[in-house]
Structure 1
Amino acid sequence: MDRTDPEGAIAKAAARVSNWGRWGPDDVLGTMNLLDDAKRREAAALVRTGASYSLSQSFDMDGPQRGWRRRTNPVHTMLDTGCDAAAGVQGFPHGIGGADDVIAMPLQCSTQWDGLGHIFDHGRAWNGRPAEQVVTSLGDAVTGIETVADRIAGRGVLLDVGRTFGEDGELPDGFAITEEHLEATIAAQGPTSAVGRGDIVVVRTGQLTRARREGWGEYAGGSAPGLSFTTVDWLHRTEIAAIATDTWGFEVRPNEFDDAFQPLHQVVIPHIGLFIGEMWDPDALAGACAADGNHDFLLTAAPLKITGAVGAPVNPVAVR
């Protein structure tokens, strides 16, 4: 890979792995086409103990955001409180009182999905559509996140690359996870880690574990372990429906080219049609998987059904 030529590498990769037209010219689902009813039935049979794990970080003002491109942490405000009820100022009859609240936040400030309208390549969105015809000031009129609100439930597979290759379960910042690392992790974890068509892969790097211990630092947008650009063929060949990590940006940072910004995104979202999850929290799940050796599970991860959104918050739940 020529570090000085990101544009050439992106173009070659896009030509190799493009799914444009695979599901017809009007497709809005991308790789979610690979997660079908049969795959969901298979996933339901993976519930062994019934134990469930949230894979979401918290949504609060103590999150990792630092204001990059106006991304801030959630601001939660109470509209009505127990104090108001106790003071009798709410105006309700026969003693009933209540509480209400509101939250203001960017849709990708914590655990979230990147939708298909999130990234473009030279002005082209998923399936080759002109970006300006997909996302306007009114939102994503074609591939808004609401199109997959009833889709993302299926077989999840945890690949704990941090546990396999890291010191004390954590990969160092800047560690590029290659196809070889992914396959070696699958081999080390055993047959329940086999990855295939329609699966939702969760990659644990251990960076979130470190951030919890040491503070957020530059977690949002700084150096991080993540997937190498060279995994693009693996991501296409395995026919997974989606992939998520415990990092801010999914791919290794700094990126592997001398002058680039998120080049793997530029291929996998608009060309493969792959859904990417970021800032997930797989730590508790990873401990359970390591304890009994089972690394696949039923995973539900529906985004909030926000019309026209190019990304959305999610509370993924793994059931083992």
Structure 2
Amino acid sequence: MRLTAQDVRRYGKRLSNWGRWGDDDELGTLNHIGAEQIAAALALPRANRSVSLAIDFGADGPMPDQGRYNPKHVMVETGATMELPGGFRYADDTVEMSLQAATQWDSLAHVFYDGMLYNGRPSSLVTESGAAANAITAVRDGVVGRGVLLDVARQRGIPWLEPGTAIQPDELAACAAAQGVGVRRGDLVLVRTGAVGQQLAAGTWDPSFVFGPSAGLGFACAEWMSVNEIAAVAADNVAVEVMPGEVDDCLMPLHMVCQRDMGLIFGEIFNLERLSTACAASGRYEFLLVAPPLPFVGAVGSPVNPLAIL
């Protein structure tokens, strides 16, 4: 039986973390990362190697330039005609882009419903001036810890999942078990569907990457993430969750429950291809993940260059 919007609200109420870490909390499930978790994560690197999980930020990126805009990079000074003392010259540049145009984190002010943000704050706090609460600046210190790659596509033995494929909790658990990695409290979980790899193999970003069907997490994964007390989740698709969703009268039900009720931030459009290869070669799917957002004041999302340190 298909779920409805009312079912989503019931799940949200049951999985809610409102007040769990205090009425003034803006970190949400990043509170699961404490000193113990960070110390354990710092002990993970063995290969003295870091892998960037960002796609290239450029004008030919995945966005349709409608609503969200790819980066527009402009040189404002090249130094070519300068005549400065001692032969000194310099170059300067600027960029204009949507903060969620490429590899990025959502803040807990990004998604809301019924007039409320995470932790019982009114959605009226998000205005044309930005978010006065739950903005991306609230998590500037918090996105570092034990990263775990759940390489669903590799575990299935395929380069990428078919668009519209819903990944369910039992498959996440089976993938972790097959890879010999447990999911623990405070983990930063990365889920590879192969979506970015498919685009890179094609050499161009198909408009369907943003607007079309996408493999991703099914709605039932909200409870799996809650039970396992993960700190954050990221994937290599545009929404983390499967599109179209599994609830007919909700656009993004997993966003609704995870971000607004649980306080769980989403990372989107992560490039997990090189990490997939590295983890498969070493047989280790855990690593130190350092992925702080840029602290744009009032922003509801931020670009990021996540580093997996192996």
Sort the TM-score into its range (normalised by shorter chain): over 0.9
Find the partner of 1:14 among 12, 15, 25. 12
Q: Report the alpha carbon displacement of residue 260 of structure 1 after superposing the two structures with TM.
A: 2.8
Q: Which runs of 5+ in 1 are unaligned?
A: none
* 1:32-81: CA deviation from partner (whole Å, max 9, x where unpaired): 1111122111001001111110000111011010134x101110000111
* 1:127-176: CA deviation from partner (whole Å, max 9, x where unpaired): 011110x31222111221111111111100000011112x5231110100
Q: Which residue of 1 aligns with 2:113?
A: 121
SS in 2 for 1:318: strand
Q: In the aligned structure 2, how far is the partner of 1:141 from the partner of 1:259?
A: 29
Q: Which residue of 2 aligns with 1:108?
A: 100
1:65/1:109 contact within 8 Å kept = yes
Q: Report the alpha carbon displacement of residue 101 of structure 1 after superposing the two structures with TM.
A: 0.2
Bigger mean CA deviation after superposition, 220-229 or 108-117: 220-229
| TM-score, with structure 1 as normaliser | 0.93
Q: Report the alpha carbon displacement of residue 28 of structure 1 after superposing the two structures with TM.
A: 1.1
Find the partner of 2:75 among 61, 74, 78. 78
1:121/1:267 contact within 8 Å kept = no
* 1:68-107: CA deviation from partner (whole Å, max 9, x where unpaired): 4x101110000111xxx3323xx53221100000000010
Query: How many residues end up aligned between the 2 structures?
Result: 308
2:107/2:301 contact within 8 Å kept = yes
Q: In the aligned structure 2, how far is the partner of 1:135 from the partner of 1:252?
A: 27
Q: Which residue of 2 aligns with 1:216?
A: 205
Bigger mean CA deviation after superposition, 277-286 or 146-155: 146-155
The one-letter code matched in structure 2 to 1:170 is: W
Mapping of 1:11-160 within 5 angstroms? 11-68=9-66, 70-81=67-78, 85-88=79-82, 92-132=84-124, 134-160=125-151
Q: Report the alpha carbon displacement of residue 121 of structure 1 after superposing the two structures with TM.
A: 1.8
1:169/1:206 contact within 8 Å kept = yes
Q: Report the alpha carbon displacement of residue 263 of structure 1 after superposing the two structures with TM.
A: 1.0
Q: In the aligned structure 1, how far is the partner of 2:109 from the partner of 2:6?
A: 23
Find the partner of 2:172 among 149, 163, 182. 182
The ranges of structure 1 where at least 4 consecutive aligned residues each deviate by more than 4 angstroms after the TM superposition are none
* 1:177-218: CA deviation from partner (whole Å, max 9, x where unpaired): 00011011011101xx21111110010001111111233221
* 1:212-250: CA deviation from partner (whole Å, max 9, x where unpaired): 123322111321100001111101111110000000011
Q: Which runs of 5+ in 2 are unaligned?
A: none
Q: In the aligned structure 2, how far is the partner of 1:103 from the partner of 1:57?
A: 16
